[in-house]
Chains A and B, each alone.
Chain A
Amino acid sequence: MKALVSVKRVVDYNVRVQVKSDGSGVITEGVKHSMNPFDEIAMEEAVRLKEKGKLTEIVAITIGGAKNEETLRSALAFGADRAIHIKEEGDVQPLTAARAFAAALKKEGAQVFFAGKQAIDDDANQTGQMVAALLDIAQATFASKVELDGGKAVVTREVDAGLETLEVDLPAVITTDLRLNEPRYLKLPDIMKAKKKPIETVTFADLGVEKGAALTISKTSAPPKRSKGIMVKTVDELVSALKSKGLV
């Protein structure tokens, strides 16, 4: 059984992003990038399922410019068998990405599509659900536990009330949440081995996908800053400060 895992190159989670002064976006030049942390969890889960014999092949897939090859090499170092690079330099919004992933999923005949529940750049939390909708297959989002069993998956999901368990028929989309697993640290031999694994390059046209209508971003601005408050020295001072503001 084959799994397709989408991985996105994003500004590293430790970077404090700066908004450009002309409001045209955020500064990404000269800033550290890495694989979206939720996608690392998706990769890790696929690799563990393969190690358990539940999957036979893992294909990593990404959309973006030349630099995204780094992200695919990381995915291959995690343990993907091969990778697909959908080459596209421009802005790709979730529905467009989902159309391309859905086409690739069909072409590959993969039974599971793994993706992080959201990318930490646009924070959209849409693409996995859209892939499932376009193919009219099941989705299990925000997964914290995944069991594959024959033609089915049993997935525990993190929802607002607690933990929800779904049983879904395959093929299905599974998006991963923080506590599903702890991604492995990539070792040098695996990174070296990844350099020899194949990456296939395709375009939207190859997949028969049109980009379609998009949201227009007219402006990017910094959020209002919270002003630094007062440091109190004792609990008594804190209590009187809260009392004077009518908060307790």
Chain B
Amino acid sequence: MSKILVIGEISDGKLNSGTAKVVAAAAQIKGDITVALFGADVSAAAADAAKLDGVTKVLKIESAANANPLAAVYAPQIVELAAGYSHVLFPGTAFGKDTAPRVAARLGVQQVSDIMVAHSPTSFDRPTYAGNAIVTVEAPAAPAIVATVRLASFTAVGSSANAAIESASSSAALPSHTRFVKLEAQKSERPDLQAAARVVSGGRALGSSDAFKIIYSLADKMGAAVGASRAAVDSGYVPNDMQVGQTGKIIAPELYVAAGISGAIQHLAGIKDARTIVAINKDAEAPIFEVADFGLVADLFTAVPELEGKL
């Protein structure tokens, strides 16, 4: 039977919602699931991880050195911990993408990036070419399989379990070549983009950060998170953490509203798994209409406020 080590992610002291999706991927592989949490004090996150259905054990690896998620510092500890596990799974987030290859290389294994489906303990589907070609890969089982999980492909497991929480320590030698300086986090009262059931996104057509107000306003009316196209982020209308697409966040909300977004391949790669896509764009030829469930050719500056008013 597989023994699966899930590397949990902690955001702002809490368990990141992606961890429950990585556990869902682990459940698809089938096996005994342990969640490992690294940090200075991970007790709150550990309590949440212990509730995740299918998890049998939560390991806390707490130390001052682990206070910030530095790949170079976490990797040797994860490599040490990985002995005895058949799989080491990371979330397909900036944290997971940064750390997993460092672990895979130290273990001497090729990594499987962005698992969409686990057909067996060693066979997985993953996206290439911005999701336009899906490859089925077979990974050597030994010494271990290291992978990241494409969060948009999995539904979070429930939280009715009660797994054991244990503390573990590491004797791995830690490097001093990498030092955390600061994190400038965007504080928002809105739902988290990667976990939200509804998302409203704006594109280049907004034309300024001031004009983005109508997007925020519609999102607040709908209880939605706010996203943006690469063009809108590049133009400085909104911060980078709002980018949706191949190289930004890949999301799977119930409802996605794209306003003034033309629908470049790279953007579509981030929204393919949305249940329903609504597109509002002035240009009837915009590629976004090819994937939209509901398309409206209109000027967003009139249509978006009107939509808000009629909801």
Contacts and interface: CB of A to CB of B under 8 A. Distances in A.
A220 B183 contact: no
Interface string B82-119: 00000000000111011111111110111111100000
Contacts of A130: 101-102, 104-105
Interface string A157-177: 111111111111100100001
A17 B112 contact: no
Contact of A166 (B75, B132, B178, B298): B178
Nearest to B306: A235
A216 B137 contact: yes
A232 interface: yes
Interface in A190-248: 212-223, 226, 228-239, 241-242, 245, 247-248
B178 A138 contact: yes
Contact of A236 (B71, B179, B310): B310
Contacts of B130: 120, 123
B180 A161 contact: no
Secondary structure at chain A's binding surface: helix, strand, loop or mixed? mixed
B123 A218 contact: yes
A72 interface: no
Contacts, number: 250
B136 A163 contact: no
Contacts of B75: 133
Interface of B: 11-12, 70-72, 75, 93-95, 97-106, 108-114, 123, 127-140, 175-186, 194, 222, 230, 233-234, 239-241, 246-247, 249, 254-255, 265-266, 272, 276-278, 289-298, 303, 306-307, 310-311
Contacts of A16: 132, 265
A219 B139 CA distance: 13
Size class of A's contact patch?
A: 35 or more
Nearest to A125: B97
Interface string A126-149: 111110111011111110100000
Contacts of B295: 229-232
Nearest to A167: B179
Given A161-B185, A231-B295, A217 B136 contact: yes
A159 B11 CA distance: 11
B128 A122 contact: yes
Secondary structure at chain B's binding surface: helix, strand, loop or mixed? mixed
A125 B113 contact: yes
A124 interface: yes
Interface stretch (A1-9, A62-70, A91-99): A91-99
A117 interface: yes
Interface of A: 11, 13, 16-17, 19, 25-26, 93-96, 98, 117-118, 120-130, 132-134, 136-142, 144, 154, 157-169, 172, 177-179, 212-223, 226, 228-239, 241-242, 245, 247-248
Contacts of A214: 110
Given A137-B177, A166-B178, A142 B98 contact: yes
B112 to A, nearest CB: 7
A166 B179 CA distance: 6
B94 A160 contact: yes
B222 A229 contact: no
A234 B234 CA distance: 31
Nearest to B124: A215
Contacts of B12: 161
A125 B95 CA distance: 12
Contacts of A134: 105
Given A160-B95, A226-B291, A95 B241 contact: no
B197 to A, nearest CB: 10
B109 A213 contact: yes
B254 A247 contact: yes
A162 B102 contact: no
A123 B113 contact: yes
